[in-house]
Structure 1
Amino acid sequence: MSYPNLMDSNVMEISLLTGQEGCPSPGLGKRSGSGSPVQGGLTLSWHELSVWIKKKDMEKSNFISNRYFDAKILRKVSGVAEPGTLLAIMGPSGAGKTTLLATISQRLKGDVKGKLLVNGKELKKDLMMRISGFVPQHDLCIDSVTVMEHMQLMARLKMDKNTTKIVRTQRIWDLLRELGVYKCRHTKMSALSGGQAKRVSLAVQMLNDPGILFCDEPTTGLDSFNASSVIEQLRTLAARGKTVICTIHQPASGLFDMFHSVYLLMSGGKLGMTMPTHQVAGFLASVGLVCPPSYNIAEFIVSQLAVTEDLESRVRVGRVVRSFKDSKHYSDLVKRLDIQLNAGTPSQPTNKISNSLDSLSQEEEFKKYLEIKAPSKFTQFSWLLWRSAIDIIRKPKVQIIRFLFYMFIAFLISSPYVGFKTDQEGIQNLQGFLYLVVVETIFTFNYSVFHIFPSELPILLREIGNGLYSPGPYYLSKIIILLPRTVVEPVLYSALVFWIAGLFGGVYGFVQFCVPVVACSMVATAYGCLISTVFESVATGSLVSVPFENVTLTFCGIFLSLSDVPLHFAWVKYVSVFYYALEAISILQWTQIDTITCDPRPEVPCITSGRDVLKVYGYSPSNFGMDMLGMASLYCGFHIIGFMAFLKRSQKQAAY
């Protein structure tokens, strides 16, 4: 599908001639007069919304389990946002501004009662995601990609899958030029200033030309120039028939005047008042609250609606609310709400939406969004894999240090075994060396992936919550991106220890030796992914994984003779990667040793062959295939459990 060019020549000319921090500032556009609603577009209305969210009970929660309680954040609030207007949701801290924004955009995972209508119709979450964009307060993304790469990824995941590459690229260029960040297109996301990052985030949300735009604290962390630029750009979008809704906390007086209307929440999540911005000061003055000439009007409003413990604040807020309900502003709100309620077909309760996509597709305002076809799972997977690869390639320092440390361990553990002999004393030496080869590989690859999911969880929760991709393609992309390292590094590690220690088998023996080492590195990575998905922090995951590792390590055959293990503990070795890997690597080495020299002292026990050594440790020469199958089963099992845990975590509420 095609998209209209969002720029007129004046906007383009201004954006190319002005600049800030190496990038042109956004086109300033012309203010849209009074901000009165325009014909067409999408009108969003919410009717007596009450919202409960689960909060952690710190007193009743403990290490074993967490206890939660339902906290009521919003209490029967109603409002309307119309095309062509820039609406500011304001209120004191804790009043529920972000909760209201996340609720009316259907991005909140909580208990919601009330009605949410678009052009008089209740919409499912999937359609709401298509018709709206959400610019979060904090910009979260993989910071090693450039602006253009980030936009290409987002365009491929958000736009219609049948859109050609040329159209997608042109759309990206148009948005970057319009928002004043075209010159920054080859700059890494980590190098952007706050204002530039905010405009890039806005460009991402505008890829599908949404009819409704939600912005959570769009001026947070910005200086006055960048804050004015962002709000001015939002006014320009509203003037084109968009419905733009922002939460904002005590803006400067100049910024406050740029909004067309204001929606004020008071402490406790209740509606205080809503009206055109230029009428707020007059309304407050009518109830005896006159803003001093040198005082920030926005800060004055918020302070007057804040309820504290003193009786005076409660009386003041009560007077404001009563006056609002007796005013023409409230009666106008009620009329507009009634219009929206009567605009569509009779609505059912929110959890039983009756409107079908077929009926909505007949309406021009919904038709173009319903035609958007989401990318396939393979497309999601390939682009997520591409992003992960870019992130790894552009952070070589971490990879190089990790690799050099692994090679240093190989040199360290193999040096003492140079020139060892296959005599009775050499049995312990060789088996101890094989044990070190396996254990160091498992621990190295296990702990190296503990950070993967906790570090990216805020990003993926937001992107999955916005419907960009499914958990499956993301998790699979992480599995695939880890494979090259789990193959290449163990092979080089094996070559170093095999050559320094002088192990048996020649070239063919070396190739065989690599197989169980690579396999145990892959299983260790899978186990690390499992811990990474189950626990929210690396510290907690490490603490919990240690007991399991110690128990499975005990039954690897070094510390206990597996032939003497009691029956009720015999099963432990079958969940131990240490056992499978050590037995496999021991079989490969000891089966090549036919004769072991006996000690001349008659009182010293004599083990005459490598196969006898395997029997001493409880290993069987015929178990190599079973060991490889066991490691393959653990690899699959760990990833299946890890994915299930990841799937559950992906359903949590994203941070906005």
Structure 2
Amino acid sequence: MAELLSVHVHIPLKDDITLKQSKSAGILKAGDQSSKASSKYDLRKKRNFDIEFRDLKYVVKDGHQKGTKEILKGISGQFKCGELTAIMGPSGAGKSSLMNILAGYRVSGIEGEILVRKKERDLRSFRKYSCYIMQDDHLLPHLSVEEAMMCSANLKLEEKMPMSEKEYLVDDILETLGLMDHKKTRTSNLSGGQRKRLSIALEMVNNPPIMFFDEPTSGLDSSSCFQCLSLLKSLAAGGRTIICTIHQPSAKLFMMFDHLYMLANGECVYGGGIKHLLPYFKSLGMECPAYHNPADYVMEVASGEAGEDKVKQLVASVRSGNMDKFVASQAQASSNRTSKSSMSSIAEAPEIDVDPSENDHLLTTRNDTTYVPGEHFLSCNEKSSEIASTSSRASTPSSDSGNKSGYDSESESTLSEDMKGENDCHTFNTSSFTQFKILFFRTFMSIMRDATLTRLRLIAHLIVGILIGLLYLGIGNEATKVFNNAGCLFFTVLFLMFSALMPTVMTFPMEMTVCIREHLNYWYSLKAYYFAKTMADLPFQIIYPLIYGSIVYFMTSQPSDLMRFVMFLTLATQTSLVAQSLGLLIGAATSLQVAVFLGPITSIPLLLFSGFFVNFDTIPIYLQWISYMSYIGYAFEGTLQAVYGFDRESLDCEKDIRSPECRHFDPETILSDLDVDKAKFYVDFIVLCAFFVVLRVSCYFVLRWRVKAQR
């Protein structure tokens, strides 16, 4: 297999494009192949994965009405390997919808066929050998470039691959994309162009043959836009299928694309080579004015500025097949001219003697063991067929521009017919336990470096604990200050609840975008991510309540009893864990803006029915059920039991114990007046544990629903 994959790298062809970082300007450009001779990572992917879709329709519900809206209206097209394809159209034309459907990010409301290498697409397998790089560069801000890349390599490459080889591969990709000098830089400190290149590098680890980009030049300056498209051009020239949506590029950037698929109102108005676009429009009486950006002109026509009749004319031409005939004729004429030129060049060219062993090092690792990126995937696809015996296969050049990369396309041969039955093609490259380990350390490292989640929270717990201790200093054993002490205990529960809830509510929605992208790009399973996220934050959610609870307990002179102290800290920790679980649930279900609003709002009824403000007996019967839903009530009730229950000795009272001020010297009287005399500590403990489990499990299923809803 390695020999078959390396056969195309031996002869430097005219159209071969290799990325090289310019030391002076930092611009990605075509370079001499020999300059990459020492590089193991070859940008050229010698696989042929054409994507074709036929009569594709996409329908969504029309708001709150019962009707539906047709986004895509029976469009057809083909995107070929070796070409940089642009999907363009006015706002609302269906660009993003088409991209999401082809990438497998949308699966509901779709009709029509999507084919990969002439075979019906198997979505799970397709997700494994394709990647989708979104418009916004969602990166974990507290990881360095190297750490982010190593996480990607450890998750996406085979476990059996030695770590040294993964490190070498990562360095090679970073060198290729011009990020080697920023290995130790935090992703939050990268520029827009560097973040875009890092997003691409993360997905290139397993060398996917199909790559989708949503508005890759969005938010970049002209220089960064050119660098980005130069990179995409080189990736396409290596035999990959590169598809991206783009809004309105400059003329220079527009001409860098090989293929254009133009949409208007959910209909295709053009699908062919960029160089045939203006002649085709001219043949329909729509000539682009001189010195006018072709991209701007076709956008104006597609948006109806030249008249709706022009749009209808273009749609009709596509549906009747006239557009395909015109493009094919133009491509044939161009091919004939190229053939004549090539024949004359070959007659004058010197003979080239090629030694196949010269470039074997391109696919050889430091330990002289051959490694092919994506080897596991290739073995799945080609398991039932030997490439050497495929004499009936024919390479398929582009209808618009021929074979642009100078590589021999492999056939239209099948994705293995039994791919759907091959479990290993549908599984991740790493086991669930390995995924958990990698994600656990990644999450733990991010938390440790996040000032909000670590240092600020630690400082807050220390400062607030000391303030509360000073405010209620030494009142824990005074009979005349029982209700003050109860207020201190309730505030403790309240503080632990908000200090665990709000940071989670504010950070988890941002992590969700990264999780969804990586999961849909087949990095790891949701259960591995969620379990790692839960376990990585657990030590902090335990340590902070212990620190705060210890300060408050001793400064306020609560009972000097080890059992009561342990019970108090246990409930404090449980309160924090349940509140964090609620924060995870809210963050998983909503956006950041909604989560920040819902966090405090959901806490209001839990506080009102906690038993501190209103006794249970005075609550109307039809509202008493809310009290049973308040975990704050159970935490407060259990804390009171820990402090005053279990046959505690009488409290101190400076006055006569028969005076009204000393009425609460008896702990039983205190529990009775606070309406918790019938409460059981173990019941409160079990209920809080149940809240924790139910919220955590619910959050996992909400997370799964959220991912499904994205599609």
* TM-score w.r.t. length of structure 1: 0.82
> What amino acid maps onto 2:275 in structure 1?
H
Contact 1:26 1:229 in 2 (8 A): yes
Alpha-carbon distance, 1:120 to partner? 1.0
Cα deviation, 1:221-252, whole Å, max 9, x if unaligned, reads 22333322222222222222222222222222
Structure 2 matches for 1:500-579, cutoff 5 A? 500-505=555-560, 509-536=564-591, 537-542=594-599, 544-553=601-610, 555=611, 558-560=612-614, 573-579=627-633
Cα deviation, 1:300-338, whole Å, max 9, x if unaligned, reads 122122225xxx61222334445564647337779x9xx
> What amino acid maps onto 1:277 in structure 2?
I
Contact 2:607 2:630 in 1 (8 A): no
Alpha-carbon distance, 1:72 to partner? 1.3
State the distance in 1 between where 2:300 and 2:321 align. 22
Alpha-carbon distance, 1:567 to partner? 7.6
Tell me which residue corresponds to 1:630: 687
- Are residue 307 (structure 1) and residue 304 (structure 2) matched? yes
Alpha-carbon distance, 1:181 to partner? 1.7
State the distance in 1 between where 2:444 and 2:66 align. 39
CA gap 1:105/1:512 in 2 versus in 1, 3 angstroms: closer
Tell me which residue corresponds to 2:268: 271
Percent identical pairs in the alignment equals 25
CA gap 1:289/1:514 in 2 versus in 1, 3 angstroms: same
Contact 1:87 1:261 in 2 (8 A): yes
CA gap 1:380/1:214 in 2 versus in 1, 3 angstroms: same
CA gap 1:9/1:460 in 2 versus in 1, 3 angstroms: farther
Q: 2:638 aligns with which of 564, 584, 609?
A: 584
Structure 2 alignment gaps of length 5 or more: 34-44, 332-378, 388-412
CA gap 1:130/1:606 in 2 versus in 1, 3 angstroms: closer
Alpha-carbon distance, 1:522 to partner? 1.8
- Are residue 383 (structure 1) and residue 381 (structure 2) matched? no
Tell me which residue corresponds to 1:488: 543
CA gap 1:611/1:251 in 2 versus in 1, 3 angstroms: same
Contact 1:83 1:243 in 2 (8 A): yes
Cα deviation, 1:490-515, whole Å, max 9, x if unaligned, reads 22212221232222215665444322
- Are residue 401 (structure 1) and residue 406 (structure 2) matched? no
Alpha-carbon distance, 1:359 to partner? 8.4
- Are residue 15 (structure 1) and residue 20 (structure 2) matched? yes
Tell me which residue corresponds to 1:352: none
State the distance in 2 between where 1:584 and 1:185 align. 51
Tell me which residue corresponds to 2:30: 28
Q: Which stretch shows the higher mean deviation, 174-183 or 469-478?
A: 469-478
State the distance in 2 between where 1:524 and 1:320 align. 58
Q: Secondary structure at the match of 1:595?
A: coil
Alpha-carbon distance, 1:197 to partner? 1.7
Tell me which residue corresponds to 1:350: none
Tell me which residue corresponds to 1:228: 226
Tell me which residue corresponds to 1:362: 384
Tell me which residue corresponds to 2:69: 71
CA gap 1:125/1:600 in 2 versus in 1, 3 angstroms: closer
Alpha-carbon distance, 1:607 to partner? 4.7
Q: Which stretch shows the higher mean deviation, 41-50 or 237-246?
A: 237-246
State the distance in 2 between where 1:396 and 1:97 align. 40
CA gap 1:562/1:15 in 2 versus in 1, 3 angstroms: same
Q: 1:289 aligns with which of 275, 282, 286?
A: 286
Contact 1:532 1:541 in 2 (8 A): no
State the distance in 2 between where 1:576 and 1:150 align. 40
State the distance in 2 between where 1:132 and 1:550 align. 49
Alpha-carbon distance, 1:28 to partner? 2.2
> What amino acid maps onto 2:28 in structure 1?
P
Q: Secondary structure at the match of 1:450?
A: helix
Tell me which residue corresponds to 2:204: 206
Contact 1:423 1:599 in 2 (8 A): no
State the distance in 1 between where 2:695 and 2:150 align. 33
> What amino acid maps onto 2:198 in structure 1?
V
Alpha-carbon distance, 1:424 to partner? 4.2
* TM-score w.r.t. length of structure 2: 0.76
Q: 1:162 aligns with which of 154, 160, 163?
A: 160
Alpha-carbon distance, 1:530 to partner? 2.8
Q: Secondary structure at the match of 2:709?
A: coil
CA gap 1:302/1:409 in 2 versus in 1, 3 angstroms: same
Contact 2:270 2:323 in 1 (8 A): no
Structure 2 matches for 1:129-528, cutoff 5 A? 129-265=127-263, 267-308=264-305, 313-322=307-316, 325=320, 327=322, 329-330=324-325, 361-363=383-385, 366=415, 370=425, 373-396=428-451, 399-420=454-475, 422=477, 424-505=479-560, 509-528=564-583
Number of residue pairs matched? 608
Q: Secondary structure at the match of 1:187?
A: coil
CA gap 1:198/1:499 in 2 versus in 1, 3 angstroms: same
Q: Secondary structure at the match of 1:451?
A: helix
Contact 1:29 1:233 in 2 (8 A): no
Q: Which stretch shows the higher mean deviation, 247-256 or 528-537?
A: 528-537
State the distance in 2 between where 1:410 and 1:332 align. 75
Tell me which residue corresponds to 2:354: none
Q: Secondary structure at the match of 2:243?
A: strand
Contact 1:259 1:277 in 2 (8 A): yes
Contact 1:417 1:433 in 2 (8 A): yes
Please, what is the CA RMSD of the aligned residues? 3.6
Cα deviation, 1:474-495, whole Å, max 9, x if unaligned, reads 2222322332222211222122
State the distance in 2 between where 1:456 and 1:196 align. 20
